[in-house]
Structure 1
Amino acid sequence: MKHVLSIGVAFFFLVITSSLHAEMTNQVCMATPGWPSDRSDLEADPSLVRGTLNNGMRYVIKENSEPKSRVAMYLLINAGSLNELESQRGVAHFLEHMLFNGSTHFKPGELVKFFQDIGMNFGGDTNAFTSFDQTAYNIILPDGTSENLEKGFLVLSDYARRALLLESEIDRERGVILSEKRSRDSVGYRARVKASEFKYDGTLLATRQPIGLESVIKDADRELLKSFYDTWYRTDNMVVVVVGDVSSEQVKPLLEDAFSPLESPEDAPVCLDFGAVIHAEDKAYYHYDPDLGSTNVSIDSIWNLTRRNDSKAMQREEVIRVANIMMMQRRLNKLQESEGELFSGIGYYSGDMVRKLGYSTLSASVVNGKWQEGLEYLENYLRQVLEYGFQEQEFELVKKELISMLERAVLTADTKPSQKIARSIMRAFVSDRVIMSPQQELDLYSAMLDDLTMTEINAGIRKDWSQGNRLVSVEGSTEIAGNKAEAKILDQYLLAKTKAVTPYKEDIVGEFPYLTIPDVDDSIVKEQHRIESIDAERIIYANNVSLILKPTEFNANTIQLVLDFGSGKLSEPKPGMGMLANDIVNDSGTANLTSTALDELLAGTTVQLNFEVREDSFRLSGSSLTKDSELLFQLLYTLLNDPGFRERSYTIARNQLKEMYDSIANEAEGAKASGVERFFAGGDERVGLPPWEDVEAISLKEIEAWLVPQFAAGGVEVAVVGDFDPERIKELARTYLGGLEKREPISGTSSTLTFPRGQQHVELVNSQIDKSIVVVAWPTDDFWDINRTRRLNVLAGIFRERLRQVVREKLGATYSPVVFSAPSRVYTDYGRLQAEVVVAPGKENEIIKEITTIARELSTKPVPKEELDRVIEPYLTSLRDAVNSNPYWLRSVLANSTRHPEQLEWPASILTDFQGITTGDVESLAKQYLLPDAAATAVIKQAESKNNAQADTGKPAD
């Protein structure tokens, strides 16, 4: 169930942005001095405090109280992989890594401990990224005290101009970067790179993937890294963004003190030649790889952009483009509904790449290699729009959606998280765009939408496709015989163009709500009581439906709920039915309305709903603005009473799953999801991906036979949180929940699994990708002793930190080692503490040995108090955020609390219990669970690797 298009207001910042920083289209230069609003007839958000230091560094400060106490600060450098010379390919990303490995005020190895000591989680509260046109570093402070602000600014100022770039650290970090390259490598990634080389040929975009070249990474030294650092890490090419629960008066002098002393070289960097695409005629592209698992057909138009400043006129063009995207996608959704045997996915995209290239793309994933039929549909649908245009009623639906999104942004602005605001500010800066407040956006765009004509709308999409070229691509697992595949693709495209097209016809969709509204009164309430400890209320209706609601102020004007019913995957007659059911129900709409028809009837509302098969229940998760609460309850009522199970949705779900199975068949991650997961469950067929042959054999009738009784009579419990009037929600719940037919009593469900103590397992994959995955796990226990569960989380945190220090920081053998505790909520007495590492082939035994050594030391030696504190403090910071959020109360406390009433007691102890965890607690659990003979080991590796011989048993080397 889509019900609301997944496009937010921020989408306006992601569509076409043609204001370039350079004087010419083909230049990659520094950020333009000043602010975008200096060069525009648009006004910037008045709540932003902006300034420029004497050294040219700019800053933006915004006061925001969500989440409470927290402060998000970012350092943005207006440079990325596009700024690299040929000899520097990969240096921008390498440099991002190096700034964590030594600076003037932080010696190598000190920074992570520094973050942990003040309650920050490395990777969560502090991180960085490198893209084509920017590099950014973020710090999310636990609070806005002057002391912590000073510490945060000290770190960012060291990033900016005080990196040490020690040769010893460069040598160690290159192994981490090569491991990151390996972990992210896939046939899909390689296919995207090849397609970029074709589409963006003639520009740096075709040759500047941020991860870079392995040869450059292997040979990079201090001189090479410093040349990029000194060239582009300039104060006049940076902006510091601070958003959080602080006052600008407090932040501004601290920021100025930290960054004003920084100096940059006097000479500005020379602009680089970005190049230009030259697609003067129709071209075909073909890429065949059987491991991709699916076949994608696309038609593209790509063109060079010219420099423009942000303006009302440009924003009007963007509104037109967004409307066209939404209208085209709406048509394509209907096409997929009617042609489920052909398409497993279809979409329309239009925008810009790094503000230098414009593009429009019509793309579809076709089933069974039917690329010719898919290409004909795409060409005909595109030509139909270009010849006849969109219709007024289509635009009216899209207008409702856009106005609704803009209004929602205004109503929820006061509780928008600081990180999201900070990222939108950075996105605007890099795009040379004026950042406006939600109210400014509503005022501007709603007036434009009311004023737009269909002539302007249709002229917009025609302009995008008037660039004089079509790039026609076929990519994937379909082999086109012979050595002239591109010529065959172009011939098929030209053949499709000979087919006549007619004007688009709209279908009449029906009405909603269409079921009779139940007539109930207060007598339906069987039981009602308050839960004072958590400020919640429980109501039990005569039909056995249970409701629990808790008003909150975490998300302004918003309501969120989950409705759990039945027994979920535990009642699954055949493995794999739940995977199919997820997609079938979500795509089917209701029995009376298709998914697209329901979308149209709900246009302009904020209602969203999603179906999910969970381990022990079926779940409908929904949200809306509070003003749409009744519509949300009506949709829940309709789906429970009149669910849809459409043949076309079943076909699409099967096709999509088949593509997923095919794409991961020769991937290490696929082997982990299937064989390795099942191995750690003792071979139980309910766990892990079942064989495709079993899934393929499942019929729609079998799924209906399983689900229909659950929808009709399965025990129902509903949890609601949000910014609402409790009496109004109780009134709606009485009608739409109390008005349901009598349900089965709610009861807990459980089962058992067996952990493979002491066993080893090897999964061989016929992969092109040169990597292995090592997994070592120990059996623990189930979820329901919450004190034990919390302490196992801390033990996993200590284990993870030690593993990071050894395999990443010391050996440079992996990018991001993973350790987690996974106590089961469903399987009695079952849980596991698990370590996972992606490594180069031949390194499996070495890493297994390191993992088991850490486990042995944890189970036999004392844990230093300072080590425990460095893990506990970030946990506490995260927990303080969590208890002030709707997701925590909804999903961790209230949902399924009829089955598990102990959940309602957990909030009272969550902070004090974590604060009270001792080294003795952790040591006791390590001694109990991290036993050498209890560990199970799995290794996933290439079937034909020169390094396989030494690791075939999965056992550590002697």
Structure 2
Amino acid sequence: MAVALAVPGVWVGADVTAYAEPLKAGKSGAQFAHIHSDLPVDPTARFGRLANGMTYVIYPNGTQPGKVVMRLRVGAGVLDEADEESGIANLITYMAFSGSAHYPQGDLFRQLERQGIQMGAGQQARVSEGETNYQITLPRNDEATLETGFTVMQDMAFGLTFPEAALQRDRDLVVTQMVNQARPLERHYENWLRTAFAGQLLAERPQKGQRDIVLYTPRESIINFYNSFYRPDLTTLVIVGDVDVDQIEKRLQKTFGGWKAKTPDYPKRDPGAFTAKGPRAYTYFEPGLPEIIDITWLKPVEMRFQNRDLVRDMMLENLVLAALNARLERAAAKADSPITRASINTGHFQRTGDSAGFFVMPKPGQTQEAMSLAVELIRQAGEFGFTEAEYQRAAADYEASLQQRKAGEATRSNEWLADMVAGSIDGRYVINTPSQDVAFYESLKPQLTREAMNAYLKDLLRRDGPLISLIGPAPVAGLDAKAIETHYAELSKAKLSPPEDTAAKAWAYDDFGAAQGPVKTVRDEALDYTRLTYANGVTVNIKTTKLKANEVVVTVRSAGGLKRLSPKAPTPVFALNFYDLFEGGLVKMSAAEINESMAGVNFNLSYHMTDDAAVLFGQSGTKDFTLQMQVLRAFYSDAAFDPGYLERVRHTVPSFYTYTNTSPSGVLGLHLARILYNNDSRVTPLSQADFTTLSNETLAGIVRASLRDAPVEITIVGDITVDQARPALDATFGTLAKLPATYATVDGGSEVHFPTSGLFKTLYHQGGAEQALVLIAFPTTDRYTSPETAVGLDLLAEVISLRHYEAGRAETGSTYVPLARNVTSTTFKGFGYLSATVQIYPGAETGFYDSFLALVDGVKTQPPSADELLRARQLLLTRLNEETRTNGYWLGLLPGAADNPGQRDYALKRKALIEAVTPAQVQDLAKQYLNPDKAMKVLVLPVPKGESRAS
């Protein structure tokens, strides 16, 4: 929820014009909170209401030059469907892309692609309980692109035609989406809603609708829902980006001013009144579910518009949640704790209710003990409140987060702003700036005391409930719903002791010896960065950007990564995907102690192993950069690998494997690298049994070895200059002892090979009987040996995706267009693949393979047309433009560029290379690489009935 400041009830940011009404409380349709509030509003935003009742917000933002984001919000969703319409709201978001007044069937995608705009159902449209949102991102703000954006939004609002020819296909797509999303957690959620909000409409309304209604409801009923709810007084258009507000406002009036509702009124569905139900229990068990305890307090949905009191309460809630989460994490980290993870979160259910829930994952076999501890921790906090140390840390962290956002205010993204503005209507909050947040926080600070936090928590625990939920793969002996209620009643009477109030430990890693400066500085003007070299061999790339104010991202890369490991010798690298190096702590400080010592500091620490490096990652604000580098240096040299943390991780492993195996996509994701890397042991997943017996010494040994005895390259990107970064670098990594110029190699470490035999694999999942997935992958090549080839393969993948869409999605029984993708290694020479993956019904795999290979043959015999290549090229160029506007792009690009001419050449020429590819080159690449005899085919099917095999 946002906080805000400005003068309520005024026309903000513009003169009142003849074509729009003044904003006043009491008007029908969407309401802006600041009209009803004692809070001021962001003066940059221009709000308006057309004479027909349609509302809009225009927010100029030049952070991303030329870019414009549009959101069309219709105030109708799942809760507006009648019983016989369940699923219609979602179906309409698919039909919206299948034919409209300006774009006959199929034309919309082609037109958007020509302008580099990718849009589609499930990507740019979403339905929730009380609203439907369409979104489009325009890569440019020229006249033609803006006209396209307005025309698309206009057609979504009142120009859909619902062509008969597309209706059955879209029905099938929605139903298959239902099938593929029908997983244990989703079924639990539907059942939980029925218990939590029994007697209200949400409890009886399936989120995705009812299958038979989607399949068979008459076209006239779909059109009737559209005509009833897609109307001016329920619609808000949000436009954020590099725009002239006055011109956009005039265009908006021209486009939407003549729109009239097609029905006199719309049906009003009663969402039902929230009723208190008291303490109660809910259980749900199904194979594939992790074991989780959830203790939730509920209250009626907040219908007041945000005001000063609500902002104060929101801030207190944030402080309470932060303090509670820190306490829960400390409890979970204790060696004898029966819980592996614990947290508290809040939830909002449109028109229905709000929640605050304690999430607890028990250790296997300790469910009752975990529940007892969770209740004790909650009651202890409620009775004794928070300690002074907990309060001070929560307040420091919260204030630091507000200041961080304020410092980055000038570079907020269009997407973030559009989501914030659109969300304000249902959320009933006043739109504001981060600077206003800070000012308001300062004005409220005297009220945000420890006593106020304690009082707020007491009030939270007086809400309806708790609803105590226990879910898992199988019932837990002695813990059915009745037993849980009895157990809770007993626990509620138990005597409590106050928590310990321990002082925070001082940060112990601020001195690494005498600082050492670099011995060489080189400026790369083409890529606009500076490269430092230290006497110990450490190299540093520093690129100053203003892409995101007050953000600095850092990687510390020890060369080698997977290349230092044998592709044949078994190694548990897979386990690193689950291991958080930070949680293992430092020799002198535990993870909890580090967090406590860093109260008010924005920092981050993570570790991962890539093909060519072991990487420590950090992210901080500019002023916290010194501490961020100290954290990175400390974990590079002094990570503790607390055995208790690995034990906690090990307890979560059964839930991971169980849940992963409940869907075809989960199974494929687990095994795909192993298959395409020809059973390379470095990317082979551990079995559940091997994971649970993995020793702490083995895992610590892998991480330590990956960081040691290798060259170190640091890359720093963001709002920081070389002079600002130097002192922290000199005092941390500049003090390392002399590093080797290279690392020890192993046989085969620098190689990866696509399989040449066993080119058909069948895997099995334990999910729904109607769920299956197919993949086909062709071996290609790497990214940097020939950048021209790599870019050509990118375009070939786009052309294949476009052609498959044109061929029609329903022909193979697939659910979505199989988006082809080109994956070219930046590390292993000659390795890459072009693949396509698609969800199907079991039994449809032969039809898919036949049609897809026929399509591939078509590219070989008929090169892409000028229009196909234009569309493919524009999509790639738009993505490239988006990527280069992020610090993360440069953080990934710069490491190694100084020593790899192909990499540097690719970085400098990528745009020109994309623009230079010809249709004949795409055709030649298809002939060269897309050989069906060399393709790997993977089929993921449901486990046959009566069997229990695992992939």
- TM-score range for the pair, normalised by the shorter chain length: over 0.9
Matched residues in 2 for 1:250 and 1:617: separation? 50
Q: Which residue of 2 aligns with 1:200?
A: 197
Secondary structure at the counterpart of residue 471 of structure 1 = strand
Once the two structures are TM-superposed, the CA of residue 895 in structure 1 deviates from its matched residue by 2.2
Query: For residues 138-217 of structure 1, what are the structure 2 equivalents within 5 Å?
Result: 138-217=135-214
Q: Which residue of 2 aligns with 1:802?
A: 803
Q: Which residue of 1 aligns with 2:9?
A: none
Q: Which residue of 2 aligns with 1:492?
A: 487
* Residues 30 and 79, structure 1, Cα contact 8 Å, conserved in 2: no
Matched residues in 2 for 1:659 and 1:870: separation? 43
Q: Which residue of 2 aligns with 1:622?
A: 618
Q: Which shows bigger deviation, 504-513 or 837-846?
A: 504-513
1:751 aligns with 2:751: yes
Once the two structures are TM-superposed, the CA of residue 160 in structure 1 deviates from its matched residue by 0.5
Query: For residues 489-888 of structure 1, what are the structure 2 equivalents within 5 Å?
Result: 489-522=484-517, 525-571=518-564, 574-580=570-576, 583-746=579-742, 750-756=750-756, 759-785=759-785, 786-806=787-807, 808=809, 813-888=814-889
Query: For residues 905-924 of structure 1, what are the structure 2 equivalents within 5 Å?
Result: 905-924=905-924
Cα distance per residue 1:16-51 (max 9 Å; x no partner)? xxxxxxxxxxxxx99745522111101111001111
Matched residues in 2 for 1:441 and 1:584: separation? 32
Secondary structure at the counterpart of residue 808 of structure 1 = coil
Matched residues in 2 for 1:152 and 1:240: separation? 12
1:78 aligns with 2:75: yes
Matched residues in 2 for 1:848 and 1:182: separation? 22
Secondary structure at the counterpart of residue 268 of structure 1 = coil
> Partner letter of residue 664 of structure 2?
A
Matched residues in 2 for 1:933 and 1:896: separation? 36
Counterpart pick for 1:417 among 413, 419, 443: 413
Cα distance per residue 1:522-569 (max 9 Å; x no partner)? 4xx333211121121111111111111111121112211111114223
* Residues 678 and 687, structure 1, Cα contact 8 Å, conserved in 2: yes
Q: 1:901 to 1:500 in 2, by over 3 A?
A: farther
Once the two structures are TM-superposed, the CA of residue 465 in structure 1 deviates from its matched residue by 1.6
Matched residues in 2 for 1:945 and 1:411: separation? 58
* Residues 132 and 209, structure 1, Cα contact 8 Å, conserved in 2: no
* Residues 559 and 724, structure 1, Cα contact 8 Å, conserved in 2: yes
Matched residues in 2 for 1:298 and 1:60: separation? 39
Q: 1:200 to 1:769 in 2, by over 3 A?
A: farther
Cα distance per residue 1:631-673 (max 9 Å; x no partner)? 1111111111211200111111222233201222343233313
Matched residues in 1 for 2:469 and 2:617: separation? 38
Q: Which shows bigger deviation, 204-213 or 644-653?
A: 204-213
Once the two structures are TM-superposed, the CA of residue 616 in structure 1 deviates from its matched residue by 2.4
Root-mean-square deviation over aligned CA pairs: 2.5
Cα distance per residue 1:900-945 (max 9 Å; x no partner)? 3542333321111111111111111100011121122111111226
Matched residues in 2 for 1:922 and 1:869: separation? 13
1:447 aligns with 2:440: no
Counterpart pick for 2:395 among 385, 399, 419: 399
Gaps of 5+ in 2: 5-25
> Partner letter of residue 535 of structure 2?
A
Cα distance per residue 1:872-892 (max 9 Å; x no partner)? 01211221232233222111x
* Residues 90 and 208, structure 2, Cα contact 8 Å, conserved in 1: yes
Q: Which shows bigger deviation, 738-747 or 322-331?
A: 738-747
Secondary structure at the counterpart of residue 72 of structure 1 = strand
Once the two structures are TM-superposed, the CA of residue 758 in structure 1 deviates from its matched residue by 7.1
* Residues 79 and 133, structure 1, Cα contact 8 Å, conserved in 2: yes
Secondary structure at the counterpart of residue 124 of structure 2 = strand
Q: 1:34 to 1:376 in 2, by over 3 A?
A: closer
* Residues 761 and 939, structure 1, Cα contact 8 Å, conserved in 2: yes
Q: Which shows bigger deviation, 897-906 or 110-119?
A: 897-906
Aligned residues: 920
> Partner letter of residue 438 of structure 1?
P
Once the two structures are TM-superposed, the CA of residue 235 in structure 1 deviates from its matched residue by 0.6
* Residues 120 and 140, structure 1, Cα contact 8 Å, conserved in 2: yes
> Partner letter of residue 940 of structure 1?
V
* Residues 406 and 441, structure 1, Cα contact 8 Å, conserved in 2: yes
Query: For residues 242-391 of structure 1, what are the structure 2 equivalents within 5 Å?
Result: 242-265=239-262, 267-292=264-289, 294-305=290-301, 307-339=303-335, 342-354=338-350, 356-391=352-387
Once the two structures are TM-superposed, the CA of residue 94 in structure 1 deviates from its matched residue by 0.4
Between 1 and 2, higher relative CO (CA 8 Å, sep ≥ 6) is seen in 1
Matched residues in 2 for 1:938 and 1:885: separation? 35
Q: 1:152 to 1:812 in 2, by over 3 A?
A: farther
Q: Which shows bigger deviation, 366-375 or 512-521?
A: 512-521
Q: Which residue of 1 aligns with 2:926?
A: 926
Q: 1:584 to 1:574 in 2, by over 3 A?
A: farther
> Partner letter of residue 830 of structure 2?
D
Q: Which residue of 2 aligns with 1:4?
A: none
* Residues 570 and 681, structure 2, Cα contact 8 Å, conserved in 1: no
Q: Which residue of 2 aligns with 1:889?
A: 890
Q: 1:32 to 1:596 in 2, by over 3 A?
A: farther
Once the two structures are TM-superposed, the CA of residue 188 in structure 1 deviates from its matched residue by 1.9
Secondary structure at the counterpart of residue 470 of structure 1 = strand
* Residues 812 and 847, structure 2, Cα contact 8 Å, conserved in 1: no
* Residues 297 and 473, structure 1, Cα contact 8 Å, conserved in 2: yes
Matched residues in 1 for 2:660 and 2:122: separation? 32
> Partner letter of residue 855 of structure 1?
V
TM-score for both structures, normalised by structure 1? 0.92
- Runs of 4+ deviating beyond 6 Å: none
Secondary structure at the counterpart of residue 895 of structure 1 = coil
Q: Which residue of 1 aligns with 2:13?
A: none
Q: Which residue of 1 aligns with 2:8?
A: none
Matched residues in 2 for 1:41 and 1:559: separation? 37
Secondary structure at the counterpart of residue 301 of structure 1 = strand
Q: Which shows bigger deviation, 161-170 or 667-676?
A: 667-676
State the identity as a percent. 23
> Partner letter of residue 358 of structure 2?
L
Q: 1:206 to 1:634 in 2, by over 3 A?
A: same
Matched residues in 2 for 1:655 and 1:752: separation? 33
Secondary structure at the counterpart of residue 850 of structure 1 = helix
* Residues 757 and 933, structure 1, Cα contact 8 Å, conserved in 2: no
Secondary structure at the counterpart of residue 586 of structure 1 = helix
Matched residues in 1 for 2:544 and 2:677: separation? 40
Secondary structure at the counterpart of residue 231 of structure 1 = helix
* Residues 565 and 715, structure 1, Cα contact 8 Å, conserved in 2: yes
Cα distance per residue 1:382-424 (max 9 Å; x no partner)? 1111111122332221111111111111111111111110110
Cα distance per residue 1:105-154 (max 9 Å; x no partner)? 11011000010112212349972111112111111112111232122111
Gaps of 5+ in 1: 1-9, 14-28, 953-958
Cα distance per residue 1:483-519 (max 9 Å; x no partner)? x821222232233334321111133342114352421
Q: Which residue of 2 aligns with 1:61?
A: 58
Matched residues in 2 for 1:498 and 1:895: separation? 59
Cα distance per residue 1:28-84 (max 9 Å; x no partner)? x99745522111101111001111111111111111112221111111111111111
Once the two structures are TM-superposed, the CA of residue 811 in structure 1 deviates from its matched residue by 5.7
1:225 aligns with 2:222: yes
Once the two structures are TM-superposed, the CA of residue 338 in structure 1 deviates from its matched residue by 0.8
Matched residues in 2 for 1:219 and 1:154: separation? 31
* Residues 129 and 349, structure 2, Cα contact 8 Å, conserved in 1: no
Once the two structures are TM-superposed, the CA of residue 11 in structure 1 deviates from its matched residue by 7.0
> Partner letter of residue 831 of structure 1?
G
Once the two structures are TM-superposed, the CA of residue 375 in structure 1 deviates from its matched residue by 0.6
Secondary structure at the counterpart of residue 897 of structure 2 = coil
* Residues 77 and 238, structure 1, Cα contact 8 Å, conserved in 2: yes
* Residues 577 and 695, structure 1, Cα contact 8 Å, conserved in 2: no
Q: 1:571 to 1:691 in 2, by over 3 A?
A: farther
Matched residues in 2 for 1:275 and 1:360: separation? 20
> Partner letter of residue 859 of structure 2?
L
